[in-house]
């Protein structure tokens, strides 16, 4: 392996470590992709994870300045096709290799910037804009990887990819509603008075998420085989989280972070592999 190939490999390894440390659900999903898809999706996840950390974690720093520098460094890396930041180096390789639409990257970073100054998403329009930029575009980046230049397939699966990203993000909002409020002063769901959060409000949110899940499944079944089982596994993990939240009381949701146990995830992984081998996804 020459020196440049070693640096490329090391950069993707960094993004893989980030994925494993921050999300067991996504890291297990990526592991069951065909090998050709693993590094590209690690590259995308590492990028979006670090951008999200800037706005959610580094409270002792000037987060606006950090995010602006990250934005500049991102597009510089894409233009130069190299970065000394291994996360950005891996990401630029994915962007350039799969011709990821640069507008998707801009829309994502714009949504991260919204988190710097918005704490309440008072209208459905602003909420949907945030959902699109923070989650749906990530699904579209991944879809460009899976479709490998097949524009017709990409266009056909775009609505489902957006719905899947939206479902994941809305589940995260509901799961993290306590931490978002206490640590960051944020309430994402439009029109929700957190002091009056009740079962009816929870059911309304879950009904919206269920529609996203149902629409997403249609597209997952039409994904290329090498990507289908990994995306389906992530879908199943989040669907199980959805069901746990559905059964949880308002008090539980507001006081604890609802999780799917590692034992349950292992079962879901094995079940998905069996179903995939029998073409039952």
Please spell the DSSP secondary structure of 113-148, one letter per residue. HHHHH-SB--SHHHHHHHHIIIIIHHHHHHHHHHHT
Q: Where are the domains of the chain?
A: 3-277
pLDDT at 280: 65
pLDDT higher than 80, residue 74: yes
pLDDT higher than 90, residue 215: yes
The per-residue pLDDT for range 160-190, each reduced to its tens digit, is 999 999 999 999 999 988 887 777 778 888 8
Asked if 45 and 19 count as a contact pair (C-beta separation under 8 A), the reply is yes
Span 193-201, average pLDDT: 85
pLDDT at 276: 67
Burial 156-178 (b: 16+ CB within 10 A, else e): ebbebbbbbbbbbbbbbbbbbbe
Asked if 147 and 94 count as a contact pair (C-beta separation under 8 A), the reply is no
Span 246-255, average pLDDT: 92
The dihedral built from the CA positions of residue 25, 10, 145 and 76, taken in this order, carries a sign that is: positive
* Superfamily of 3-277 according to CATH: Farnesyl Diphosphate Synthase (1.10.600.10)
Span 94-112, average pLDDT: 97
Distance separating alpha carbons of residues 231 and 45, to the nearest angstrom: 14
Query: For the chain, what is the mean pLDDT?
Result: 92
Asked if 163 and 105 count as a contact pair (C-beta separation under 8 A), the reply is no
pLDDT at 41: 97
pLDDT higher than 80, residue 69: yes
pLDDT higher than 80, residue 278: no
Match 């991260």 to its residue by tokens. Answer: 112
pLDDT at 277: 66
Percent of the chain scoring above 70 in pLDDT: 98
Task: Considering only residues 269 and 130, tell me which one the structure prediction assigns the higher pLDDT.
Answer: 130
């Amino acid at each position: 392996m020459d020196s440049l190939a070693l640096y490329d490999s090391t950069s993707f390894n960094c993004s893989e470590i980030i994925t494993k440390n921050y999300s067991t659900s996504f890291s297990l999903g990526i592991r069951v992709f065909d090998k050709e898809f693993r590094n590209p999706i690690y590259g995308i996840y590492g990028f979006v994870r670090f951008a999200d950390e800037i706005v959610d974690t580094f409270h002792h720093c000037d987060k606006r300045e950090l995010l602006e520098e990250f934005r500049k460094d991102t597009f510089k890396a894409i233009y130069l096709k190299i970065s000394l930041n291994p996360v950005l180096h891996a990401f630029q390789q994915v962007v350039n290799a799969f011709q990821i639409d640069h507008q998707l990257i801009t829309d994502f970073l714009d949504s991260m910037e919204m988190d710097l100054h918005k704490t309440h998403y008072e209208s459905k329009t602003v909420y949907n804009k945030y959902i699109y930029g923070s989650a749906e575009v990530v699904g579209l980046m991944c879809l460009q990887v899976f479709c490998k230049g097949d524009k017709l397939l990409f266009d056909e699966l775009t609505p489902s990819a957006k719905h899947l990203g939206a479902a994941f993000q809305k589940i995260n909002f509901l799961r993290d509603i306590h931490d978002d409020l206490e640590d960051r002063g944020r309430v994402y769901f439009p029109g929700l008075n957190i002091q009056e959060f009740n079962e009816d409000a929870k059911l309304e949110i879950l009904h919206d998420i269920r529609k996203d899940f149902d629409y997403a499944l249609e597209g997952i079944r039409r994904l290329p085989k090498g990507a289908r089982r990994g995306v389906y596994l992530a879908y199943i993990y989040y669907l199980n989280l959805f069901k746990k939240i559905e059964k949880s009381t308002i008090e539980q949701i507001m006081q604890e972070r609802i999780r799917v146990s590692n034992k349950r995830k292992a079962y879901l992984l094995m079940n998905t592999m069996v179903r995939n081998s029998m073409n039952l996804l």
